[in-house]
A and B are shown apart, each in its own frame.
Chain A
Amino acid sequence: MKRDLKTILLICLFLVFLLFPALWPDPYLLHLMILFFLFAVLVSNWNILFGYMGIFCFGQQAFFGIGAYGSALFALKLGVPIPLAMVMGGILAMLSSVLIGLPSLRLRGAYVALVTLAFAEVMRMICSNWVDVTRGQLGLTVPALFPGAGRIGFYYASYLLLLISTVILVKLMWSSFGYVTVAIRESQEAASSLGIDIVKYKILAFMLSSFMSGIAGAFYSHYILILTPDIMGLHTMISILVMGMLGGIGTLEGPILGTFVLIFLSEYLRGFGQFRFIVYGGLIVLSVLFIPGGLVTVVRWVETRLKEFGRR
């Protein structure tokens, strides 16, 4: 019963998103959906490190930014075709994650948070100071991925990206890899005493997570068309953090749900004018005080209620 209900719901959701541009062709709504898809990829991949593996990665914005700048610069300076440049941006982000993943292997918890954050800040400041290449704060103008097709083409491209990322994550987390990551999170010592190669798994997790984040960044750069170093700022990381935690970290659906709610919530709150972010911050605080497990717990609660209802 439960399995079926969930499958039906997922198929409905898939179809709604698929038909969305036909049902609501409002360009602004499409813009928000595109942002949702890209951030959902970013946040769910951060969640592999933070939620599943317990690596306090506070530098995910660097992977996003490296992917964005990397892809833009490959396309602009070297004339690489854009789709290839995007993959190269992702690979660049992946390589950078090895660079920062290795020193943080020896570290625990909070220290990893700092090393990754420091790395992101260094990257942001390099992009901001290396004006000859990145144009710094003036902003880099990036060629579009679909010059003619407009938003709808991009909508489907980013939707596809989210689907691919989610399928990879679901497959991975339900495989032995998923169990190993959780084992590492719960106790490194116990995991390594069972013969798990912690270094290998951590680096693999870093590489996967940063590659997908870099690709999301590359999509973002060829969509938004102007890049400033601010996308690697602390506030991007804070958005990732809030989206992930509000949804519920350590679960597959939580980050996607959190991203969706926060992107549309912050748009809805535009009606509050200058009080917008006061309400936004206040709501975050209240949600932690009243739903400490994240929005996922609400979904789970509804799910069990439905199951009981079906049994009756």
Chain B
Amino acid sequence: MFDLDVLIQQVVYGLVIGSSYVLMAAGFSLIWGMMGVLNLAHGEFYMLGAYVAYYASSLLGFNPIISSLAAILAIFFFGVLFERSLLSPIYGKPGWETNTVLVTVGASIFLQNVALVVFGEKYKGLPQYFEGDLEIWKIVLSYDRLVVFSVGCFLIAFLWYFMKYTRVGMAMRAISQNRDGASLAGVNVRRIFYVAFGLSAAFAAAAGALLAPIFFVYPTVGTGPLLMAFAIVIFGGLGSVKGAIYAGFLVGVFESLIVLIVSSAWKDVFVFILVIIILTARPRGLFGIREE
């Protein structure tokens, strides 16, 4: 039906896009699973990350990779600030589950429109990381995508290591499993929350900044990635970073195969239908944490 090399090419593209989905979804999943906060402003961290990278490279003349790192760092602190000023005050009070959703929606509208006023509605693109393509056995991959993929994978590996072996990561997993238990064991839950929130924001910013040279940057650029993160998180299982990693790559590859087989206009339809079917069969996603 298709040439094998076209198929492999699409799978490779899918993995590249998948790596950015993972960056976006892992943090979203962490915050939702651990804090119970559905952060609808998550897409705005993606958008802000992309803008910080854009201005760091166009105004300050940084190398695109350095500006991505600057964006990650800047949005980490922004995320911490966000949690301290907006979520902390209402967290745990009556009705906080819905109030945190509402606060993040408000913040999302606010940030999108600040971006519209400050940065303008024009689409902005970052210069390429490196020009040219890498060619291995008929598979062509631009260096840009290679950079996205490798930096993305590096960050994912870092997150994996962080969650599995560091004390803070273990504390995060403990809180996801049982908040009161973790608290009794001496975990400072509130402090872990803002570290986690900063981390989640930083990873979204990383996705935005890394993809900026490939896609464009504009104020509402975060909506699509937010929806995708939503799907991937549930697909992988709420609160499971491991699940988000698998599901992100899987959805990336699935999506690019649909582009090849059907058309790009229908790819999201198929992704969402797939998610509905999977959830019907496995009500807690692929790797969901069991709730009581």
Contact = CB atoms under 8 A, between A and B. Distances in A.
B157 interface: no
B143 interface: no
Main secondary structure of the interface of A (DSSP, over half): helix
A245 B99 contact: yes
B231 interface: yes
B76 to A, nearest CB: 21
Interface string A111-127: 10111011101100110
Interface in B91-114: 93-96, 98-99, 101-103, 105-114
B227 interface: yes
B238 interface: yes
Which of A238, A242, A292 neighbours the largest number of chain B CB atoms within 10 Å of its CB?
A292
A285 interface: yes
Q: Bin chain B's interface residue count.
A: 35 or more
A57 interface: no
Interface stretch (B5-13, B50-58, B188-196, B266-274): B266-274
Interface in A182-218: none
Interface in A91-148: 103, 106-108, 110-111, 113-115, 117-119, 121-122, 125-126, 129
B86 interface: yes
Contact of B102 (A108, A122, A288): A288
A242 B106 CA distance: 8
A111 B110 CA distance: 27
A113 B283 CA distance: 12
Contact of A122 (B230, B238, B269, B283): B269
Interface stretch (A22-30, A38-46, A270-278): A270-278
B106 A107 contact: no
Contacts of A287: 106
A241 B105 contact: yes
B284 interface: yes
Contacts of A284: 102-103, 105-106, 109-110
A122 B274 CA distance: 11
Interface string B102-133: 11011111111110110000000000000000
Contacts of B238: 110-111
B230 to A, nearest CB: 6
A283 B110 CA distance: 9
B187 interface: no
Interface in B216-269: 223, 227, 230-231, 233-234, 238, 265-266, 268-269
Interface in B4-52: 32, 38, 40
Given A122-B273, A289-B103, A292-B96, 5 more contacts: A107-B279, A234-B223, A278-B114, A278-B117, A284-B110
30 contacts: A106-B283, A110-B38, A111-B238, A111-B285, A114-B233, A114-B234, A115-B279, A118-B231, A118-B276, A119-B276, A121-B227, A121-B269, A121-B272, A122-B272, A122-B273, A238-B105, A245-B99, A249-B98, A276-B113, A277-B116, A278-B110, A278-B113, A278-B117, A281-B107, A285-B86, A288-B103, A288-B106, A289-B90, A292-B90, A292-B99
Sorted nearest first, the 3 A-B pairs with minimum C-beta distance are A281-B110, A284-B106, A281-B109
